[in-house]
Amino acid sequence: MTRVAFQGIAGAYSEEAIRQFFGPEVDSVPCKTLDEVFPAVENGDADYAMVPVENAVAGSVIRAYELLMERDLRIYAETILHVRHMLLALPGTALDDLSRVQSHPQALAQCQRYLSRHGLEPEPAFDTAGSARDLAAHPEPGVAAIASALASELYGLEILAPDIEDFQFNYTRFFVLSLDDPPRAQRTKTSLVFSSRHQPGALYGCLGEFATRGINLTKIESRPRLNRPWQYIFYLDFEGHWQDPECEAAIMGLLRRSSFVKLLGSYPAATTPVSDNGSWHQVNSNVRR
């Protein structure tokens, strides 16, 4: 059975992403922190890792990108999860019985309007699935949790209200990481990290290597370079495979212009979830797994 490492406990949104991508017949391997996820694959305790890298509301997951640069796992695929926050409570609890809601601070912030509308006091917890697990293990009157539908199923809690997030476009992008590169796919995306030289027009020249070849950039973000104060690195995503002639030429040009380049991987691009008569669905690229 395929083993996939993730950060969190059973019922986390990362585990939902695992099941969405790999199917229900998968062995999820929980890790306490993101820093423990990467060694789980490197040491053979898991075949893949599922790592959140970007949320449509909250932005990039900084530590995930730092680890991608520090470690040597390859991006095998990407998947985009529609994050649906559920209000969970003990069986038999009514909405009017509630006064407090526990969850991860980010989940509480993403459901702020709903909580305010119903006069519910938010209480920060370590994570979403953990708040559901703790509520099931230590019941308290008037207390609910915000977590996934999977957490409701695993911990025997009722969904009092589904989809309570303030924004329906609350999606999280995940990378599937592996020791190996994936097979070529019809629609491919490439991710890399680079640092430009400290001189006028350096970044312009680096990006021009892609623009002059008609390569579409889908993401660029700068982060401080941890070992060199006031210097920056850039995370870049573009459409295409690094072995495509134009992409290979652009990367060679980038190597000549930059002071540092690391290729994170070329992988099948996920299709963003879209609305279809009020129901949400996602189509993943065809990845052999």
CATH number at residue 138: 3.40.190.10
Between strands 3-7 and 27-31, the pairing is parallel
The secondary structure of 42-78 as a DSSP string is: HTTS-SEEEEEEEETTTEE-HHHHHHHHHS-PEEEEE
Q: Are residues 152 and 217 in the same domain?
A: no
Residue-range definition of the domain harbouring residue 58: 3-82+171-180
DSSP secondary structure code for residue 111 in this structure: T
Give the model confidence (pLDDT) of 254-278 as tens digits: 999 999 999 999 999 997 665 443 3
Give the model confidence (pLDDT) of 114-147 as tens digits: 999 999 999 999 899 999 999 999 999 999 999 9
Q: What integer is the mean pLDDT of 58-62? A: 90
Distances (CA, A) of 219 to 97, 102, 143, 151: 45, 34, 40, 32
Of 120, 153, 180, which residue constitutes the final position of a domain?
A: 180
State the pLDDT at residue 280: 40
Active site residues: 172, 174
Q: Are residues 47 and 175 in the same domain?
A: yes
State the pLDDT at residue 286: 39
Residue 9, pLDDT > 60, answer: yes
Residue 285, pLDDT > 90, answer: no
Q: What integer is the mean pLDDT of 71-96? A: 96
CA angle 141, 144, 148 (to 5 degrees): 150
Chain centroid to Cα 19, Å, comes to: 14
Domains contained in the chain, number: 3
Q: Are residues 129 and 175 in the same domain?
A: no
**What's the pLDDT band for 224 if we cut at 50, 70, 90?**
confident
Give the model confidence (pLDDT) of 10-20 as tens digits: 999 999 999 99
Which carries the bigger pLDDT value, residue 225 or residue 165? 165
